Amino acid sequence: SPVLPPIIDVPKISRAIACAVGRQAVEDGVAPAFGDLDIDERVEAYWWEPIYPHVIAI
């Protein structure tokens, strides 16, 4: 069985990890308290999606 998830699942898993880290930071008292929905919304708002130009080899 593969060690890593399929590449197609990486963004979804990365978002889940980012939200869990945010919730843990709040629980540990090292980040301001936000509701879970706020954490999810903040992660989504700051999420970077790479956009690569289409390159044609000549």
User: What is the domain partition of the chain in residue ranges?
Assistant: 1-58
Average pLDDT for 3-29? 90
Contact 18, 43 (CB under 8 A): yes
Of the two residues 7 and 27, the one the predictor is more confident about is 27
Q: In this structure, what token pair is assigned to residue 40?
A: 């999810």
Mean pLDDT, rounded, for 35-51: 88
Q: Which helix (H) or strand (E) holds 24?
A: helix 10-27
The pLDDT of residue 33 is: 87
Residue-level pLDDT at 8? 84
Which CA distances in Å does 51 have to 25, 46, 48, 54?
Answer: 30, 15, 9, 9
- Angle formed by the axes of helices 36-46 and 10-27, to 10°? 130
